[in-house]
Amino acid sequence: MSQHFLDTEGPGWVERGIISPAQLQQLRALYPEQPRAIGLLPILGSVLVGLSALSVVAANWQDLPEVLRLGLLIGALVGAYAGSEYFLAGGHRGLGVGLASLGLLLFGASIVLTSQLYQLVGYDVTGLLAWVVAGVALTYVYQSRTLLLLTVFIGAMAQGYSVGSLSTYSYATALLTAGGLGYYWWRRPDGFCGAVLATGLLWQSALLIEHLHLKITWFFVPTMLVYAVGDWQPDRPAARTWQAPPLVAAFLFMLGLAMFGEAGSYTDRLRPQFVGFLGALLLVLLISVAGKRARGRLGSTTDWLLLLPGYYFPGGLPLAVAALVVLYAYSGSVLYRGFREQAPERVNLGTVLFVLTTMVAYFKLTWDFLNKSLFFLLGGLLLLGLSWYLRRQARTLPPTDQPPTSLP
Amino acid sequence: MVMLPLFSPVPERRRRWLLRLVAAQVLFVLLVAAAGYAVSHYGRTVALRTSPVDPRDLLRGDYVSLNYDISQVPRRLWRGEEEPRRRRPVYVQLQPTAAGYHRAVAVYPAAPAALPAGHVVLRGWIGNVWRQGLQLRYGLERYYVPENTGLGLQRQPLLVRISIAPWGQSRITGLEKLPADTAR
């Protein structure tokens, strides 16, 4: 509630006798005026001056003496952090954290430019690793989502460079992302940060699988481990966003199996060693189910339907059909849970998944057998029927602007 | 959890930690610079010959592209059990020649245990594999020079001096023009 709102509405409330003048004063004291934001113009002005200085330096970079170049880099680095501290002390948290982020970026730039200054070639990611360490530490020191997100990207880039250019996997970067940032998220759960961090962890996992030359299905072991962590997270809404990236990956994979599983030519490339792989996956399943039990969310165990290893069956139409059945079962379970928990966004998601699955099934199974016009006619009728059914279902739901009661 | 002000937003503690963090960052940048000097001080210097890069390939930015003789080596130098694979890290054994520069005599998948006297190992990566040879990448293919002076250097054979530190880093320490007739 803002001061301005109280100023305009408050006297009206007093007039109608809803609150007393003393209570209005109390309300005002409860929501003190925010420190006044810094005007946009001085900031824009400083940015322009900074940019002009930057372009002068960049244009003459190679001609400057080495010591001066090093001094400029370090000066800018220290200046950014000092500025951030100045604005934080003044109560401007946004600007302070922004400058700290700039400091972190300048640290990375300093490492790269200094190595270039001395024509130095490294054979490992020590420099980039130091950057990730700085990012994780700053995330804790500033307690900042911005810095967390920035560090996820720095970690992703460092790992990409390590695997792509140096042909080594930086386990330290992966551990810092998972342990350092993961622990921060665990203690300070947040929806958007969770989704980005989980995506970053999937990227780290994918690069590990690529580096170790494993079958791509192994990707789902670390991916579902990320998912299982969400099952233990007490903050349910944040956990749900955290689990979205692993589920999207699993759903897309199953969808791919439904679309192309028929070819069969590549299915043996998907088949990891039976006992080891299924053992690892079952272990993750146990961790996940234990978490769901502990937090009273056993209903969401149906998510694991997407992990049914259909690729051990021989390819061909039966595999595609089996994948479709699984996809239907999954979207059905999302719809069912949405209705039961009266979560409209879950119902919408389930509907989208249901339609997506139907489209794939339809293309898959009918394209070859049916006349084209009949194909579109049937498709249209199917979608109309579905929307009619869902609308009828929706009418039995209470309006969405009422607070959902049974939502945990 | 006492080590970091994990979740305590007390400004004094934050400031203290920030001070240490910034000091560590400045120190790290200075260490990178120090590594530059240390590599040329403690490293062993090898001289490598380059051949001119295609002159139609104009200067890119402010560096010279260097194409070393040891950037392409015959396949028979490969000493690995498995077939060479693209992007794999390799260790290239260099031997000094009477002409004053080094040439590659072997390419190993792992650091060789023992080397003849005078031989040096330079690390690199396999860029490409052909039936006859290997293309190697060393990370030393760019030499940064003041702007608009690079073009002349690229068109003639050069002798590039490289320092290789015992701990593995390497850097270009010097560049000189070779008389055209000593080139291939």
Tens-digit pLDDT profile for residues A8-58: 888 888 888 888 888 888 888 887 666 555 566 767 777 788 788 777 777
| The pLDDT of residue A315 is above 70 | no
Residue of B2, B7, B25 to mutate, testing the A interface (most A Cβ within 10 Å of its Cβ): B25
Q: What is the pLDDT of residue A18?
A: 87
Task: Show which of A193, A211, A229 is a domain's final residue.
Answer: A211
**Domain-embedded: residue A24:** no
A173 to chain B nearest CA, in Å?
17
A161: its two tokens: 């460079």
| The pLDDT of residue A405 is above 50 | no
Q: Please give the Cα distance from A35 to A87 (Å, whole number).
A: 12
B35 to chain A nearest CA, in Å?
8
Kindly state whether residues A183 and A316 are assigned to the same domain.
no
Kindly state whether residues A252 and A350 are assigned to the same domain.
yes
> Domain range for residue B136?
43-182
Minimal Cα distance from A125: which residue of B? B169
Kindly state whether residues B72 and B118 are assigned to the same domain.
yes
Q: Considering its fold, how many domains does chain A have in total?
A: 3
By the 8 A CB rule, do B108 and B114 touch?
A: no
Kindly state whether residues B124 and B52 are assigned to the same domain.
yes
Q: What is the pLDDT of residue B184?
A: 46
Rounded average pLDDT over A358-383: 70
Kindly state whether residues A264 and A284 are assigned to the same domain.
yes
By the 8 A CB rule, do A89 and A32 touch?
A: no
Kindly state whether residues B106 and B24 are assigned to the same domain.
no
Lowest mean pLDDT, pick from A295-299, A381-385, B132-136: A381-385
Q: Which is more confidently placed, B102 or A360?
A: B102
> Domain range for residue A185?
125-211
Kindly state whether residues A229 and A258 are assigned to the same domain.
yes
What is the edge-to-edge ordering of all strands in the sheet holding B158-164? A120-121, B170-177, B158-164, B44-51, B67-68
pLDDT band at A213, cuts 50/70/90? confident
Mean pLDDT (chain B, rounded): 81
Q: What is the pLDDT of residue B151?
A: 56
Partner-chain contact A120 B32, CB within 8 Å: yes
3-state secondary structure labels for all residues of chain B: CCCCCCCCCCHHHHHHHHHHHHHHHHHHHHHHHHHHHHHHHHCEEEEEEEECCCCCCCCECCEEECEEHHHEEEHHHECCCCCCCCCCEEEEEEEECCCCCEEEEEEECCCCCCCCCCCEEEEEEEEEECCCEEEEECCCCEEECCCCCHHHHHCCCEEEEEEECCCCCEEEEEEEECCHHHCC
Q: What is the pLDDT of residue A202?
A: 96
Q: Please give the Cα distance from B139 to A127 (Å, whole number).
A: 15
Q: What is the pLDDT of residue A397?
A: 58
Kindly state whether residues A89 and A192 are assigned to the same domain.
no
Partner-chain contact A167 B15, CB within 8 Å: no
B71-102 confidence digits (pLDDT tens): 999 999 998 888 888 888 899 999 998 888 89
Partner-chain contact A118 B139, CB within 8 Å: no
Between the CA atoms of A300, A305, A308 and A314, what dihedral angle is there, to the nearest 10 degrees? 180
| The pLDDT of residue B47 is above 80 | yes
Interface of A with B (CB under 8 A): 61-63, 70, 73-74, 77-78, 81, 85, 88-89, 103, 107, 110-111, 114-123, 127, 130, 134, 137-138, 140-143, 165-168, 187-188
**Domain-embedded: residue A47:** no
Find tokens 């000097």 and name the residue.
B37
Cβ–Cβ contact B16 with A under 8 A: no
Kindly state whether residues B2 and B73 are assigned to the same domain.
no
| The pLDDT of residue B130 is above 90 | no
A308 to chain B nearest CA, in Å?
34
What percent of chain A lies above the pLDDT cut of 90? 37
Kindly state whether residues A99 and A183 are assigned to the same domain.
no
What ipTM describes this predicted complex? 0.82
Q: What is the pLDDT of residue A46?
A: 73
Q: Considering its fold, how many domains does chain B have in total?
A: 2
Q: What is the pLDDT of residue B150?
A: 58
**Domain-embedded: residue A46:** no
The SS3 assignment for A121 reads: strand
Q: Please give the Cα distance from B118 to A328 (Å, whole number).
A: 69
Mean pLDDT (chain A, rounded): 84
Minimal Cα distance from A85: which residue of B? B15
Partner-chain contact A141 B18, CB within 8 Å: yes
Q: What is the pLDDT of residue B57?
A: 47
